[in-house]
Amino acid sequence: MLFIVGDSTVHNSAPGLLGWGDVLGQYFDPAKIIVENHAQPGRSSRTFQTQGWWAQILAVARPGDFVLIQMGHNDGGPLDDTNRARGTIPGIGEESRGIFNPIMHQREVVHTYGWYLRRYIADARARGMIPIICSPVPRLPRPATQAGEVDRYVDWSAQVAAEQKVPFINLNRLILGHYAGLAANEIKTKYYTPQDNTHFSPAGAQLNAACLVEGLRALTNCPLNGCLSGPSRPLTAN
């Protein structure tokens, strides 16, 4: 089994939108592995855990299963606002802060982004699963953005993956690489929703999924590669 953890860039059922996890299954041989997309729109690395979505995966996971984890888009918000209360403390350290969560109506200790990533990894390993960390996908680049520009959650996810010695896919860099040479308005029109600069059209979801597979194939000694179907498909940005 391959489980997918993420936010609305990974699963999105709004009209005209898709997440990369919604289309990733087409790249895998169904006779070798079942792909389940458990991503939940609006969740951060923290709330995917505190709201019980992660526990649902752990309850059915078996040794040898895989889990792809992409979080970070929603971690920058407030820790205790009355709208979502989903933010995490910036960074990857052991800092924590006690709050009253107005959504859950209880006290909560909030940790760093890196702390929550480490918990995914530790929980997965405790059940014999193989975790793979993916960087957040990029928001619509500024007109002058060049391939390789990253945000801090990309850097932090890479640092945690290296520290914990788990496979890492820099999905942000791979996607930006395929945007290189395109004008911002071209990228927006083809790959993003007209409503914002974060969520993806079906074409954007397909590109992101293809980039993830490109990154997966580049990993050495990753047994999940053996479950991919067919040869690598070339990617084009336009």
Tokens of 201: 């059209």
Query: Per-domain residue ranges for the chain?
Result: 2-227
The average pLDDT across 39-50 equals 98
Residue 225 confidence (pLDDT): 94
The residue written with tokens 């040794």 in the block is 63
Contact 235/179 with Cβ under 8 angstroms? no
Residue 145 confidence (pLDDT): 47
Residue 220 has pLDDT above 60, yes or no: yes
Residues paired with residue 110 on neighbouring β-strands, in sequence order:
97
In this structure, CATH architecture of domain 2-227: 3-Layer(aba) Sandwich (3.40)
Confidence of residue 144 (pLDDT cuts 50, 70, 90): low
Confidence of residue 151 (pLDDT cuts 50, 70, 90): confident
Residues 6 or more apart whose CB falls under 8 angstroms from that of 9 comprise 19, 20, 70, 73, 136, 137, 198, 199, 200, 208
Residue 101 three-state SS = strand
The residue written with tokens 């505190």 in the block is 50
Residue 124 confidence (pLDDT): 98
Q: How many Å apart are CA 19 and CA 45, to the nearest integer?
A: 17
Q: Give the percent of the chain with pLDDT over 70.
A: 93
Beta strands per DSSP E along 50-188:
66-69, 96-101, 106-111, 130-134, 168-169
Residue 59 has pLDDT above 90, yes or no: yes
Residue 39 three-state SS = coil
Confidence of residue 43 (pLDDT cuts 50, 70, 90): very high
Task: State the average pLDDT for the chain.
Answer: 93
Confidence of residue 231 (pLDDT cuts 50, 70, 90): low
More confident residue, 188 or 232: 188
